[in-house]
Structure 1
């Protein structure tokens, strides 16, 4: 019983950490895309 609980906790924590890294990376990519669009628009004014 305890071994299963520990295994589930480890699995849940590792999944949560992977999801956080993925969301953070996607946020950074979207932010960089937004900056590129802004810079391009400012150059063409």
Structure 2
């Protein structure tokens, strides 16, 4: 019985960790895209000068 409970806890913990990694990865991609937009805007402004 204890092994079953420990196994279920391990599976749940693993799923939480993997979900958090995907969330952080998605946030990183969003931030990266935002940075690219800022770079594009800066480049366009520089070209107009």
TM-score between both structures, scaled by the size of structure 2: 0.88
Runs (4+) of structure 1 exceeding 6 A deviation are none
Q: Distance in 1 between matches of 2:5 and 2:41?
A: 54
Please give the root-mean-square deviation of Cα atoms over the aligned residues, in Å.
0.5
Unpaired stretches in structure 2, ≥5 consecutive residues? none
Larger-Rg structure: 2
Shift of 1:41: 0.7
Unpaired stretches in structure 1, ≥5 consecutive residues? none
TM-score between both structures, scaled by the size of structure 1: 0.95
